[in-house]
Chain A
Amino acid sequence: MTSGAEILASVLLLIGLAFTLLGSVGLVRFPDFYTRMHAPTKATTLGVSSMALAAVLVIPGGIVAVLMKALTIIAFLFLTAPIGAHMMARAARSGGIAPCEETRIDEMPTEPVGEDDGGHPAG
């Protein structure tokens, strides 16, 4: 009844659940926005990718079709998650949200980025 593929898929699903839950716990418990941003955009991406690989193992009907869909999901997540995180960080920084006290390295200038960007004037 329980084949090896099902066992491997179960392990992958539980790994994905662990990463997704850790991302959400980090979203709740980290002190400021920039640390909160790390947990969901990295851990959750890996969790969803692990679940997509589990889907390849157990869903019947054309391994190539399911594999291509799963690889598309994984590639798209890996492409879009850093871009979305970058856009949110820039929105937070130009909105004047300060990092927490423990943050030592702060390489970005303190003026809002929307003002001095030539290609995208404010307003």
Chain B
Amino acid sequence: MLATVTSIVMFGLALSMALCAYRLFRGPAVVDRLLAVDTISTNLLAFLIVLSIDQRTDVYLDSVIVLALLAFVATVAIAKALVWGRIID
């Protein structure tokens, strides 16, 4: 049962990432694309968690923590670069 559910959830997450990719290519402003990339990275975290459940191992959860940190730093850096034109004061 759980294998079926993880397959369904993986398909749904792929669909969700496709919707984000639509906004990524369509988005009128740069911040729309930034928001789409941020959402794709959060969906990637969910995908790794589901993959970890599917394979019954917890090694992917460490990657999830590191990727969450990386996505947050990237989002804040790009947003700061959009406001002030530079990242490091």
Contacts and interface: CB of A to CB of B under 8 A. Distances in A.
B12 A20 contact: yes
Interface of B: 1-2, 5-6, 8-9, 12-13, 15-17, 19-20, 22-23, 29-32, 34-36, 38-39, 42-43, 45-46, 49-50, 52-53, 56-58, 61-62, 64-65, 68-69, 72, 75-76, 79-80, 82-85, 89
Contacts of B16: 20-21, 23-24
A14 B52 contact: no
A47 B83 CA distance: 30
The secondary-structure label for the interface of chain A is helix
A104 B38 CA distance: 27
Interface of A: 1-2, 6-7, 9-10, 13-14, 16-17, 20-21, 23-25, 27-28, 33, 36-37, 40-41, 44-45, 47-48, 51-52, 54-55, 58-62, 65-66, 69-70, 72-73, 76-77, 80-81, 83-84, 87-88, 90-92, 94-95, 97, 113-114, 120, 122-123
Contact of B72 (A25, A37, A80): A80
29 contacts: A13-B5, A13-B6, A24-B16, A28-B19, A28-B23, A33-B35, A40-B35, A40-B39, A44-B42, A48-B42, A48-B46, A51-B49, A55-B49, A55-B52, A55-B61, A59-B52, A77-B68, A81-B42, A87-B75, A87-B80, A90-B83, A91-B31, A91-B79, A91-B83, A92-B29, A94-B82, A95-B30, A114-B83, A122-B85
